Amino acid sequence: MRIIKVSSVGLVVTLGFLLNSSTYAADNCIGHFHNVSQTSDTVEIAKGFTLTTFVFYSLTSSDNSANNAMGTCSGYALSTPEGKTRLSGICARKTKNGDNWADTWVSDSGSGDRGTWKLVEGSGVFAGKAWSGWWRADFSEGKLTNGSWGGNCN
């Protein structure tokens, strides 16, 4: 029986952001995220085929965008006997000024440590925005994950 290490999965997710450490030319916003695993539950569907659901706290920071917020994220991880992990979820965050925003995210196929995100709802400075970009988990240990993100924040 293969059980996913929940703290790694939930935090590697987040938000999670990118395919390599350099910023793409099209990026006009970049930053970091810090996630702390809160809860998780893993079910083995078949031998080596598991589904994990999780919730984690998330903090985002950026020097060149309004994406300086904290909140909560929820999602799932599907792991296969071949060692592939697919992650997906949603985060809801709030800035110190009270502006709210939510983003969905998904991992690329493979290890689950990088993927894409998209703003789906927002208020205040986030209202009517169509932001999107990449994320990458840079370092995870126990319940903690630090990562990088970037994208188009016009």
- At 6-44, the pLDDT tens digits run 444 443 443 333 333 344 557 899 999 999 999 999 999
Tell me the domains of the chain and their CATH numbers: 6-152 (2.40.160.20)
Give which of 88, 104, 30 is closest to 60, Cα–Cα: 30
Q: Tokens representing 55?
A: 């919730």
Cβ atoms of 69 and 101 within 8 Å: the answer is yes
Give CA separation, 24 vs 34, 61, 134, 149, in Å.
21, 18, 10, 11
Task: Report whether pLDDT(125) > 50.
Answer: yes
- At 64-76, the pLDDT tens digits run 999 999 999 999 9
Amino acid symbol at 56:
F
Give which of 60, 64, 70 is closest to 17, Cα–Cα: 60
